[in-house]
Amino acid sequence: MKFTAEYSIENDIQNHLDSAWRLAFLSHDREDLQGQILKKYSDENFKSKIKSAQTREEAEKVVRGYLDSLPQFLKDILPVVAAGAENILNKRQEEITELLKNIYQKPFPFDTIKIFITTAFMCSYSYEEKWFRTGWRQTEEKHVSVAKHELNHFMFYYYYLDKLTAIGVSKEKREKLKEAVAIFSNSEGNDKPAVKELENFLLALKGQPMDQIIEAVLNSKIL
């Protein structure tokens, strides 16, 4: 398996739009998630403009202006950060994939995973296109942690999305379970209140085959 990484301004713009303008992620009971994200921006002018943007075209213009105004040293370093993240994750890809294979007790099914460096404050992903984002200021261990978390999601989707959909498990419940299962690859757990009880339930099942874990969850009332 190979990781490839880059900084794409268009991908970065989309991430800012999805988090700072119109939230595109489930909150999982995180209170005022979009407000929390906006607080992380130090540029008050940007925050005011993005809040008042009424159309995607207007919001994209605000985000592009914000990124254009970033210090030149930051713009110059982003491709270097991408190259570093690519090197780190390829160096440790066996560690990452072996962990996930052991969790799911199934093969790691992906040949190539794309990484996008982002200057935004959310690290989201596209399972369909097989990429995820990681922050430009992350340490080596944080890059690895993000990879384990997001690729855990990819494994869950690959092996269980169709099965759960076919038996009528709602999207909300599937997403909750997907997030909770990440406790097996990232022991720090999620910052999502709606997932905490399910994480604790799963920890009691740690070491069992994933098929049995999923069945136990579905047979309980916790989901």
Q: What is the pLDDT of residues 148-172, one digit of tens each?
A: 999 999 999 999 999 999 999 999 9
pLDDT at 95: 98
* Nearest alpha-carbon partner for 63 in 77, 45, 76: 45
Q: Do the domain assignments include residue 97?
A: yes
Exposure of 59 in the CB half-sphere (CA atoms within 13 A): 18
Q: Do the domain assignments include residue 31?
A: yes
pLDDT in tens, the chain (223 residues): 999 999 999 999 999 999 999 987 766 666 777 888 999 999 999 999 999 999 999 999 999 999 999 999 999 999 999 999 999 999 999 999 999 999 999 999 999 999 999 999 988 999 999 999 999 999 999 999 999 999 999 999 999 999 999 999 999 999 999 999 999 999 887 777 788 999 999 999 999 999 999 999 999 988 8
Q: Do the domain assignments include residue 201?
A: no
pLDDT at 189: 75
Residues 71, 51: Cα–Cα separation, whole Å: 23
Cα–Cα distances (Å) from 118 to 12, 123, 150, 183, 190, in that order, read 5, 8, 15, 24, 20
Residues 118, 100: Cα–Cα separation, whole Å: 25
Residue 10 structural domain: 2-167
With a pLDDT cut of 70, the percent of the chain lying above it is 98
Rg of the chain in Å (alpha carbons): 18
Q: Do the domain assignments include residue 199?
A: no
Q: Do the domain assignments include residue 180?
A: no
Q: Do the domain assignments include residue 197?
A: no
pTM of the model: 0.94
State pLDDT tens for residues 4-27: 999 999 999 999 999 999 987 766
Cα–Cα distances (Å) from 197 to 167, 189, 194, 206, in that order, read 23, 11, 7, 15
Indicate the number of domains in the chain: 1
Torsion sign across C-alpha atoms 47, 53, 58, 59: positive
Q: Do the domain assignments include residue 81?
A: yes
Residues 96, 93: Cα–Cα separation, whole Å: 5
